Amino acid sequence: MEIYLDNSATTKCAEEVIDIVVKVMREDYGNPSSKHIKGVEAEKYIKEAAAIIAKSLKCQEKEILFTSGGTESNNMAIIETALANQRRGKHVIVSSVEHSSVKEPFNYLEEQGFRVTYLPVDRQGHVSLEALKEALCDETILVSVMYANNEIGTIEPIQEIGEIVKKFNPDIIYHVDAIQAYGKFKIIPKKLNIDLLSVSGHKIHGPKGTGFLYIKEKTKIKPLILGGGQQKAMRSGTENVPGIAGLGKAAELIYDNKFDEKINKMYELRNYFINGLKKISDVTINGCEDRESAPHVVSASFAGIKSEVLLHALEDKGIYVSSGSACSSNRPGLSSTLRAIGLPEELQDATIRFSFCFDTTKEELDITLQTLKELLPVLRKYKRH
């Protein structure tokens, strides 16, 4: 039996998504910029996907820009916004628990002469609102904070941050990385004062290599890719029509009339799994419990065992988990998020992330808990020798 508990890294494509991707590739393969009927048919998929996504965010279709995924969306939102607004100031603010696709663009801005303020977090990973208030100044042009943490699941005070930022200066651009949040929460950017919102397709049972950036109308931002002027010249290059069609279908499936029911089920499973982990000795739960966390992420540290050792021991039993952010596995080192929340160093390298989807079952979690109970004493004994 295969048990996949690494849905924060990627999700399995929904069957309906696969069907529409194949149909577009096989039948409606025209270039959406072509003037003939094949081009019109292809363009229709893009418009339909934009309409579906805009409905989910209660925004305008023209505010949706399709990208190759979360990393591109974050890079564009941060770098191109900062460059477009640098005449107003060169100070930017970001939390200290961001994904690498946010951290690295801010490192780049620092190299370009921007002053970057990194906001501290508490033990659960919540951004300090007082630190934000102290950091804001006349030179501030951009604030970026993720909605739900990809490693520990903590939900940031997104609405409060937006209110603080816009009260200080309405012209400051507010970016939110919603890659782990879209499809798990009902997000209305305008109510939250969000100017830019990043989303990735493969986190919501859509195709890899797809995503979008919500850009509030009249937000000053430069294009990242220049060329033929597609997508109103904001992202040139022939659109990935099969991927965009699949992304639209994935968004439609996620935000169906059973959305609340599915999310409640995931929270029930999460609480059930955490309670099971607490019954195992020397296990520390990281982040928040109940509804203060995303419904699909559980971070746990297993004292005395290297996370990579436990990951592969579980893999041998057909259980797939993560030792942290999948995107960080190419750059070894301890997690900056776990360090920021004050987790002891010996536990930082003993942390496993379990992440669920709507199809995760209680039976799968029971098997995982039982497997952990059997593996941990053996692995800890081996470690002592």
- Residues labelled as active-site residues: 327
Alpha-carbon span 213 to 326, nearest angstrom = 21
Query: From edge to edge, which strands make up the β-sheet containing 283-286?
Result: 283-286, 297-302, 351-355
Task: Please name the amino acid found at residue 270.
Answer: R
* Residue 326: closest CA among 2, 10, 1: 10
What's the chain's Rg over C-alpha atoms? 21
By the 10 Å C-beta count (0-12 exposed, 13-18 middle, 19+ buried), 267 is classed as middle
CA angle 36/42/48 to nearest 5° reads: 130
User: How far is the CA of 40 from the CAs of 31, 166, 193, 241, in angstroms?
Assistant: 8, 41, 35, 12
CA separation for the pair 71, 357 (Å, rounded): 22
What are the strands, taking DSSP E only, across 68-202? 91-95, 115-119, 140-144, 173-177, 196-200
- Which residues are registered as beta bridge partners of 121? 127
Bridge-based pairing of strands 3-4 and 319-320 is parallel
**Residues with Cβ < 8 Å from 121, sequence gap 6 or more?**
95, 96, 97, 127, 128, 340, 341
| Inter-CA distances, 11 with 14, 204, 302, 339, 358, Å | 9, 6, 25, 27, 10
